[in-house]
Amino acid sequence: MAATLLPHAAQKPHSIHSYAGLAKPPHLTRLEETTHKVGQVEPLSIDVDDAHGGFVPGFLHLPPDIFTTGTAAEPESTTTTKPASALPPHHHRTAAILLSGAGGGVTGPSSIYLSLACKLATLGRGIPSLRLDYRYPAVTERCTRDAQAGMAYLRDMYGLDRFVLVGWSFGGAVAFSAAADDPRVVGVATVASQTADAEGIGKLAPRPVLLLHGSGDNTLSVGCSQRLLHWYGAGDRMLQVFEGDNHSLSGKAERAEEMLCEFVARCAGVRVDAAERRSVVEAELVEDGERHGLMEKGGDLRAPERED
């Protein structure tokens, strides 16, 4: 039987206004002082065009030079669509979309997404990153439409047409479902993914896949990622098991964040040298004692999601 997390009760759609103060990690100045770069963060409410309608909230992290390096011209309105001739060079056309667990949220496991998005946007060839919530958490089909709406928004507004999806827990199923038949998705990474509704991983090869899981996960066992690895088949795949760690990888959060950052960069064709690894990838923007509290504020520990 496929492992899954199910909602305890129907949840109301979330609003971007619920996340005041969660646009940036607590210690972003450490990154800014080292790199002398200040990225942009935009709170968004993205319209989802399906039978259920509504808006999905999120935070978009943009490279500081996004409007000066050929990434795309600054949009004039929320309805502007970029013509094919206006698309930026290949390596400037990739974005990451970060998807949380069954309760939704915008900070990710151990608040990794909060700092990961800033780091990706600050790399030498910055990668835009969208921390995306859900309208109706724990409903795979609707949440997949949220992810697809995020991709459509990034394409229409910024000419971004290559995507790396990252999903935690239930979010892994959303990432695999959105990626399965969409060649614009050039890589998928998951943290402690469930297997229910995750069969889309079988359509991803040879696109890169990274699976992270803690052997002490009492919510979704490490066997879930082991099965996903088998379903993927032959190709560019990796399973990293963190011994004794829990569902949100709180014991190895920094290392997991570094691996995700390097994976997204590789999928985007962005080279990270040793100096940038030290100054950006390894920067500590969220301290261990802050991670749980930020997850609670960011909605990532709403029922039925948990850390253990």
Q: Domain coordinates of the chain in residue numbers? A: 39-75+90-297
Where do we find the tokens 């795949």? 237
Whether residue 192 has pLDDT greater than 70: yes
Q: How much is the pLDDT for 67?
A: 67
* Confidence grade of residue 170 (pLDDT, cut at 50, 70, 90): very high
Encode pLDDT of 218-276 as tens digits: 999 999 999 999 999 999 999 999 999 999 999 999 999 999 999 999 999 999 999 99
Whether a cis peptide bond, with omega within 30° of 0, leads into 7 is no
Encode pLDDT of 72-108 as tens digits: 434 333 333 344 334 444 446 999 999 999 999 999 9
Contact 63, 76 (CB under 8 A): no
Where do we find the tokens 């749980």? 292
**Percentage of the chain exceeding pLDDT 70:** 87
Q: Minimal CA–CA distance to 73: which of 130, 41, 43, 81? A: 81
* Confidence grade of residue 13 (pLDDT, cut at 50, 70, 90): low
Whether residue 71 has pLDDT greater than 50: no
Higher pLDDT, 10 or 45: 45
Give the pLDDT mean for 277-290. 97
Q: Minimal CA–CA distance to 261: which of 128, 118, 116? A: 116
Whether residue 18 has pLDDT greater than 90: no
Question: Which CATH code for domain 39-75+90-297?
Answer: 3.40.50.1820
Q: How much is the pLDDT for 65?
A: 81
Angle, in degrees to the nearest 10, between helices 170-179 and 140-158: 60
Distance, CA of 183 to CA of 204 (rounded, Å): 9
Whether residue 123 has pLDDT greater than 60: yes
Distance, CA of 158 to CA of 274 (rounded, Å): 30
For residue 142, the 8-state DSSP code is H
**Predicted TM-score (pTM) of this structure:** 0.91
Element (H, E) at 129: strand 129-132
| Average pLDDT along the chain | 90
